[in-house]
């Protein structure tokens, strides 16, 4: 993933901070915090992974923070840090996680935690921007079209395939998971193309000759959009692509059916879309 490793970065960056907080435990009452984290972990292990499911746990953060008021700021910053990690890792809400990390830097700038949040904040800013794009294009909405060109320089857009089920497929020759998934994509195309299934490839390669040769050898007859800019491709930004392989499946009216379908899920979704 383009933003891979954020949780590992956070965990390693604050290992020292957690030791500092627990080292002060004889001078601060962190019993409620320990109980809260035990309950939170238990709920997560029980399969509660949404904000609604964990509402009681989230409210408890405020209770615990109020209970340590007047204690060293490191304690409050660490408790907030755990809340931020919950939003980032479990609830997949980078916008709220970002707000919490920024709150730590604003309200507790003198702690050891605050300066270590610079890199995670940058990562979360990128993820929050991606999430906004996804939220603006929910399943069932019409995908905003693009006006590009294929490898031969001919005009290329989704509108060209009106009435067809279309897969907008993001990939690159240098991406091992893309190459592993490619035989499945080719097989789905070969099976369903005669029934009205089309693919528009978007390659993140920077070498036109290399990608052209690969496409020929791999028997990929569908049109490809190529800019030669890697991750700076305008369509990755437009459609909120943060990792490859990635795809967006559209019905015959250009409405989004699903994102990032792989393996058997892709074949099943295409078959269902063609029936409709």
Q: What pLDDT is attached to residue 2?
A: 37
| Contact yes or no for 267/188 (Cβ under 8 A) | yes
Out of 18-27, 87-96, 183-192, give the one with best mean pLDDT.
Answer: 183-192
Q: Using CA atoms, how far apart are residues 53 and 55, in angstroms rounded to an integer? A: 6
pLDDT at 5 over 70: no
pLDDT at 39 over 60: yes
pLDDT at 43 over 70: yes
Express each pLDDT in 120-131 by its tens digit: 999 898 888 888
Express each pLDDT in 138-175 by its tens digit: 999 999 999 999 998 999 999 999 999 999 999 999 99
From residue 202, alpha-carbon distances to 69, 167, 227, 260 in Å are 53, 10, 9, 14
Q: Using CA atoms, how far apart are residues 156 and 151, in angstroms rounded to an integer? A: 10
Helix 118-136, helix 94-107: angle, nearest 10: 150
Please list the residues that pair with 226 across neighbouring strands.
203
pLDDT grade for 29, boundaries at 50, 70 and 90? low
Q: What pLDDT is attached to residue 126?
A: 84
Q: What pLDDT is attached to residue 133?
A: 86
pLDDT at 189 over 50: yes
pLDDT grade for 267, boundaries at 50, 70 and 90? very high
Q: Using CA atoms, how far apart are residues 244 and 230, in angstroms rounded to an integer? A: 11
Hey, what are 232's tokens? 């700076």
Q: What is the pTM of this model?
A: 0.68
Mean pLDDT is lowest, of 31-35, 96-100, 195-199, for: 31-35
Q: What pLDDT is attached to residue 212?
A: 96
- Strand ranges of the sheet holding 256-259, from the earlier edge strand across to the other edge: 224-226, 197-203, 165-171, 246-250, 256-259
Mean pLDDT is lowest, of 21-25, 108-112, 132-136, 250-254, for: 21-25
The proportion of the chain whose per-residue pLDDT surpasses 90, expressed as a percent, equals: 73
How many degrees, rounded to 5, is the angle at CA 162 between CA 206 and CA 138?
75
The proportion of the chain whose per-residue pLDDT surpasses 70, expressed as a percent, equals: 89
Q: What pLDDT is attached to residue 3?
A: 30
pLDDT grade for 69, boundaries at 50, 70 and 90? confident
Four-CA torsion 41, 42, 48, 53, nearest 10 degrees: -90
Structural domains of the chain sorted by starting position, each given as residue range(s) with its CATH number in brackets: 6-136 (1.25.40), 148-275 (3.40.30.10)
| Contact yes or no for 3/123 (Cβ under 8 A) | yes
Residue count of the chain, please give it: 276
Out of 8-17, 81-90, 128-137, 173-182, give the one with best mean pLDDT.
Answer: 173-182
């Amino acid at each position: 993933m383009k933003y891979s490793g954020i949780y590992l970065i956070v965990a390693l960056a604050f290992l020292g901070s957690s030791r500092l907080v627990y080292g002060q435990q004889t001078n601060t009452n962190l019993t409620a915090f320990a109980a809260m984290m035990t309950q939170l972990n238990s709920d997560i292990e029980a399969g509660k992974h949404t904000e609604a499911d964990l509402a009681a746990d989230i409210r408890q953060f405020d209770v615990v923070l109020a209970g340590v008021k007047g204690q060293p700021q490191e304690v409050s910053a660490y408790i907030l840090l755990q809340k931020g990690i919950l939003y980032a890792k479990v609830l997949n809400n980078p916008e709220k996680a970002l707000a919490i990390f920024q709150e730590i830097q604003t309200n507790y700038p003198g702690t050891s935690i605050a300066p270590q949040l610079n890199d995670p904040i940058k990562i979360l800013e990128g993820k929050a921007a991606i999430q906004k794009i996804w939220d603006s294009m929910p399943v069932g909405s019409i995908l905003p079209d693009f006006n590009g060109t294929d490898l031969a320089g001919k005009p290329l857009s989704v509108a060209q395939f009106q009435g067809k089920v279309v897969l907008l497929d993001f990939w690159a020759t240098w991406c091992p998971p893309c190459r592993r998934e490619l035989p499945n994509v080719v097989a789905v195309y070969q099976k369903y193309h005669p029934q009205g299934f089309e693919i528009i490839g978007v390659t993140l390669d920077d070498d036109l000759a290399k990608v052209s040769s690969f496409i020929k050898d791999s028997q990929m007859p569908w049109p490809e959009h190529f800019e030669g800019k890697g991750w700076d491709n305008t369509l990755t930004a437009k459609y909120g692509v943060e990792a490859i392989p990635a795809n967006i499946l559209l019905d015959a009216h250009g409405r989004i059916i699903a994102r990032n379908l792989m393996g058997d899920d892709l074949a099943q979704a295409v078959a269902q879309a063609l029936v409709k």
